[in-house]
Amino acid sequence: MKKIIVGVSVLILALMQAHAQTVYDAVDFAAKDLNGTARFIGMGGAMGALGGDISTMGTNPAGIGIYRSNDASLSFSYSALSTEAKYLGNTYNTSKNRWNFDHIGVVFSTKIGNQTPLRYVNFGFKYHKANTFNRNMWMAGDLQGHSQLFQIAGMTDGLTPEHWNDGAIFNNNDIGWLSALGWEGYLVSPSITDVETEDYDFYTTVADDHLPYLREYHSHESGGLDQYDFNMAFNLNDRIYLGLTIGAYDLDYNKYTLYNEDSQGRDGAGYQLESYNNISGGGVDFKLGAIIRPFQYAPLRIGLAIHTPIFYKLTHTTSAVLISDFAENVIDTRDYLNGVDMKLEYQLNTPWTYNVSLGYTVGRKLALGAEYEYKDYSNIEFQYPDGMDMQWETQKAKNCLKGVHTFRLGAEYKVIPRFSLRAGYNLMTSPYQDNAIKALPINSINTDTDFMNLKARNTYTLGIGYSGSMFYADLAYKLNTQKADFFPFVYSETDGYETNYISPSATSVKFSRSQVLLTMGMRF
């Protein structure tokens, strides 16, 4: 039997009716990894009340007000990422190593006076990698009677011959791309419930006649979120520090997925679906912060900060290729659909961020920091380019996401005046509700049906630092560990008035990322 190859690739700008965004992408774009200078990382980022480090302008902008001299630094790192996936007793491992340029920053400190209420006015700039999207995933195995085709058929229900016969099914706002691919690949067909009226309410699939088997699922994600912070901070009487940071963001995210499903009992016939996605664009946010010494010369400092949402303007570029054994001809829709990828523009507003921190010093030897941060991910908002609410996606954020609590602890101890040892710990709770799923609207252009419910993330850090009269160097080690439940697809079945969502058993995934980071700087 010949193979059918269906390629989807068409340019459509700002289609109001088309859907391509999911809450799973939005969570990645709203989250930030612990990154910055090696000193900041070595203390677990718990420096919001202590200040005095370039990286604090991204958490508590008032931290730059602590400076009494100029500072410039840059950082490099080497990271190793590993993924372990366990499905029905089988284990699949992937890994990736890479070098990164992580950070560069500068602070200019201007002294106003010793007796005036306003003692210092400081300005800062910082670039750092706020998040890295590098992630690989691989699995295979028995689908336990489930099939991705059941999801495709469910999204196709209700489509009539008129939908298919208009000749432009991949840019028809009533037809999702999964439905179009399933139809062109002979993977779904109508089950006529009324011969006279040809009622096409329900579709059946080739999976109804065979036992599905997942030969392979593979995904590769790459890209990152670059953050540029511009800061201004004030020192009032050496007791109150105020700061403002304007953040600019450059986002580039790529995802490739391959889903290969075979049929047992039909001569090994099956299909392979490849999806190509890129989301890119920019955003801006504003951060306000304060550090207060409740008592003059007291070693205790209290930090408060609030971050607005990141207001993103993004473009989603996507295409897909289906290879099917259930047809006798070859079709490539790119030959008559302009031969370019579909592009959809949209806006994304991440949650507000609220931050409270404490800092305490013991003489010149020991510094302790503690920090708590809260984001309610269920308040993520999706909008069309004209500002209208994307109701499906915004409602899915409310249904699937929840508030995230982040705790940071850190300590620095000066063994001798010029050498310091550091340690830190972070805990970030899961952003997903227990019943979160990647439900796609019937006219979605998404063809990657997989989703992953991340659990709590733990981060452990260690560091060492040297501080000379002008030059300083810091080295930090960071270990991120996080578990997740992975699902290749989910489909719905209605029993009376109740809709149930069904998927194969979860694949247990564990991510580990080790990073060694070096910062070199100069105070002048």
User: DSSP string of 76-140?
Assistant: EEEEEEEEEEEETTEEEEEEEEEEEEEEEEEEEEEE--SSSSEEEEEEEEEEEEEEE--EEEEEE
- Tell me the C-alpha distance between 403 and 454, whole Å: 14
* Residues 223 and 252: beta-carbon distance below 8 Å: yes
- Tell me the C-alpha distance between 302 and 370, whole Å: 10
Name the CATH superfamily housing domain 4-523: Outer membrane protein transport protein (OMPP1/FadL/TodX) (2.40.160.60)
CA-wise closest residue to 433 among 403, 463, 395, 468: 403
Helix (H, G, I), strand (E, B) or coil at 151: helix
Pairing of strands 90-111, 118-132: antiparallel
CA-wise closest residue to 488 among 94, 209, 197, 212: 212
- In the DSSP assignment, the letter for residue 449 is -
* Residues 131 and 36: beta-carbon distance below 8 Å: no
- Tell me the C-alpha distance between 405 and 402, whole Å: 10
- Burial group, residue 496, by CB count within 10 angstroms (0-12, 13-18, 19+): exposed
pTM (two decimals): 0.90
Copy the structure tokens of residue 264: 């047992």
Question: What pLDDT score was predicted for residue 335?
Answer: 41
CA-wise closest residue to 344 among 233, 436, 222, 446: 446
Q: Which amino acid is at 363?
A: G
Report in angstroms the alpha-carbon separations of 161 from 158, 195, 252, 333.
10, 14, 39, 19
HEC string for 200-234: CCEEEEHHHHCEEEEEEEEEEEEEEEEEEEEEEEE
Count CB neighbours of 93 within 10 A.
Answer: 12
Q: Which amino acid is at 28?
A: D
**Residues with Cβ within 8 Å of residue 35, at least 6 apart in sequence:** 41, 55, 102, 103, 128, 129, 130
* Residues 425 and 456: beta-carbon distance below 8 Å: no
Q: Which residues are registered as beta bridge partners of 101? A: 76
* Residues 519 and 163: beta-carbon distance below 8 Å: no
- Tell me the C-alpha distance between 297 and 426, whole Å: 29
Per-residue pLDDT of the chain (524 residues; tens, 9 = 90+): 344 444 444 333 334 456 668 899 999 999 999 999 999 999 999 999 999 999 999 999 999 999 999 999 999 999 999 999 999 888 999 888 989 999 999 999 999 998 899 999 999 999 999 999 999 999 888 888 889 999 999 888 888 887 887 767 887 888 889 988 888 888 888 876 555 555 666 788 877 666 778 888 999 999 999 999 999 999 999 999 999 999 999 999 999 999 998 876 556 678 889 999 999 999 999 999 999 999 888 899 999 999 999 999 999 998 999 988 876 654 444 543 566 678 889 999 999 999 999 999 998 899 999 999 999 999 999 999 998 999 989 999 999 999 999 999 999 999 999 999 999 999 999 999 998 999 898 888 899 999 999 999 999 999 999 999 999 999 999 999 999 999 999 998 877 677 788 888 999 999 999 999 999 999 99
Count CB neighbours of 492 within 10 A.
Answer: 14
Report in angstroms the alpha-carbon separations of 517 from 56, 79, 201, 501.
17, 9, 58, 44
- Tell me the C-alpha distance between 66 and 410, whole Å: 18
Domain chopping of the chain, boundaries = 4-523
The CA-based dihedral angle spanning residues 177, 178, 179, 184, taken in that order and rounded to the nearest 10 degrees? 90
Alpha-carbon torsion (61, 65, 68, 69), positive or negative: positive
- Tell me the C-alpha distance between 328 and 345, whole Å: 37
Question: What pLDDT score was predicted for residue 144?
Answer: 84
Question: What pLDDT score was predicted for residue 6?
Answer: 44
- Tell me the C-alpha distance between 402 and 406, whole Å: 13
- Tell me the C-alpha distance between 488 and 146, whole Å: 11
Q: Which residues are registered as beta bridge partners of 379? A: none
* Residues 201 and 209: beta-carbon distance below 8 Å: no
Q: Which helix (H) or strand (E) segment is 193 a member of?
A: none
| Chain mean position to CA 67 | 33
Q: Name the one residue in this structure whose structure tokens are 């308040």.
A: 379
Report in angstroms the alpha-carbon separations of 442 from 161, 323, 445, 452.
17, 22, 9, 21
- In the DSSP assignment, the letter for residue 167 is S
